[in-house]
Amino acid sequence: MALSSDEIVKREIIDFFGISTNQLKLRIFPQDSRSDQKLVSEGGLTFSYNSVNYGSCDALWLDENNIPFIALEGTDALNRGSSGNAQYQRFHHALGSVKLGYIGVYYLRKGNSKIQPDLYGMAFNASKIEKGTYLIIDDLKIVSDLIKYKSNSYKLNMYIQEYLIYMNQIYKKSFEIKYKNDWTKFSSRRSTIIKENYVIKYAARMVRNFTDSSQRAGHIALGEMYLTKYFFPEKKIFYLFPKMTQSDLNFIDDVKQKDKEWFLLRNEPNVQILSIDDIKGVSEEIKNSLLSIKNSPSKGEAKKTYDKAIKTLRLGLENNTLSIDI
């Protein structure tokens, strides 16, 4: 039977580091993902920040006083055809540790696909505004080096700063190639409206995307939210689902009370979820056209209807004939 992505990563970590390294203890559960779900304070691998539980990690290094040093989330996604935004879906797993002031690492094992450069930019900006440091890596030697410098704060800090610069360079080079350093091009291609003090990210999500367990839209939406937040760390983020009403959002709140992805979407600081009801000045024609396809996937005639309506909606929000409460 083929090993899961988590099992592959966990076995590699144990083989590479052993259980104890440089007076640090490794907390890892090779065949028990349920223990990962427990809070760190309860012996698990899930960090909680401001009463919000973030995704569970795969490994945690702690000192002799059980103070976390490095939390690692790993994936074998690069060997499993994950070349696009699916890589963002696990970004939040190590984010809780970063918010608490520790080192968070997202480890993507080398494979046939390449790491999305956007991840480096997200982690770089997260390191700027959160208490801790977020590193994107494809080589466990980076973790080994961090552990080696644990007792020398100067060398540790220098190593981290150099790696952050390296990450930022990858991100900036990619942004120059893809968008010619033009945020207007970015906003057009990434369904984003950039205003002076806030950003609107919009997506054609349906209620079923979040309530049907067979779909992964919650994970994708969460990854896109974090990409937007950490691409614009100084701005308020509005995440707009124009095919939903406030009643739809309330319904998801009710049926997904224990859903981690939806809870994070609803409780991430400086991020607010919006529905079509939150757009002031939108015509009944545009609103009704969007709601007429609220349960239809974005393809065929439904996509044409959505594209036409969202073009009008975007133009109105850009030229301020439409507005939102901020």
Rounded mean pLDDT of 158-162? Answer: 98
Rounded mean pLDDT of 154-162? Answer: 98
> Read out DSSP for 110-169?
--SS---HHHHHHHHHHHHHSSSEEEEES-THHHHHHHHTTT-HHHHHHHHHHHHHHHHH
Whole-prediction pTM? 0.94
Tokens, residue 61: 């290094």
Q: What is the pLDDT of residue 284?
A: 97
pLDDT at 23 exceeding the cut of 90: no
> In sequence order, what are the beta bridge partners of 61?
26, 70
Q: What is the pLDDT of residue 2?
A: 62
Tokens, residue 319: 């030229």
Q: What is the pLDDT of residue 34?
A: 85
Sheet order of strands, 271-275 included: 192-194, 198-202, 236-241, 271-275
How far apart are alpha carbons 109 and 75 in whole angstroms? 6
Q: What is the pLDDT of residue 161?
A: 98
State whether residue 54 is helix, strand or coil: strand
Least confident of 29-33, 66-70, 81-85, 233-237: 81-85
pLDDT at 214 exceeding the cut of 80: no
- Comparing CA positions, the residue from 274, 314, 290 lying closest to residue 189 is 314
pLDDT at 20 exceeding the cut of 80: no
How far apart are alpha carbons 13 and 228 in whole angstroms? 31
How far apart are alpha carbons 10 and 221 in whole angstroms? 27
Q: What is the pLDDT of residue 223?
A: 93
Tell me the backbone φ, ψ of residue 184, rounded to 5 degrees. -65, -40
Report CA torsion sign: 62, 66, 68, 69.
Answer: negative
pLDDT at 240 exceeding the cut of 80: yes
Q: Could you read off the pLDDT of 285-297 as tens digits, one per residue? A: 999 999 999 999 9
pLDDT at 312 exceeding the cut of 90: yes
Q: What is the pLDDT of residue 231?
A: 97
Q: What is the pLDDT of residue 24?
A: 94
3-state helix, strand, coil split of the chain in percent (to 5) is 50, 20, 30
Confidence grade of residue 258 (pLDDT, cut at 50, 70, 90) = confident
Q: What is the pLDDT of residue 83?
A: 73
Rounded mean pLDDT of 69-95? Answer: 90
Q: What is the pLDDT of residue 115?
A: 96
Q: What angle do CA 315, 321, 326 make, to 5 degrees?
A: 100
Q: What percent of the chain has pLDDT over 90?
A: 86
Strands 271-275 and 236-241: parallel
20 to 27, 36, 58, 237, 265: CA distances (angstroms): 9, 19, 16, 42, 36
Is the model more confident about 212 or about 210? 210
Q: What is the pLDDT of residue 313?
A: 97
pLDDT at 183 exceeding the cut of 80: yes
pLDDT at 1 exceeding the cut of 70: no
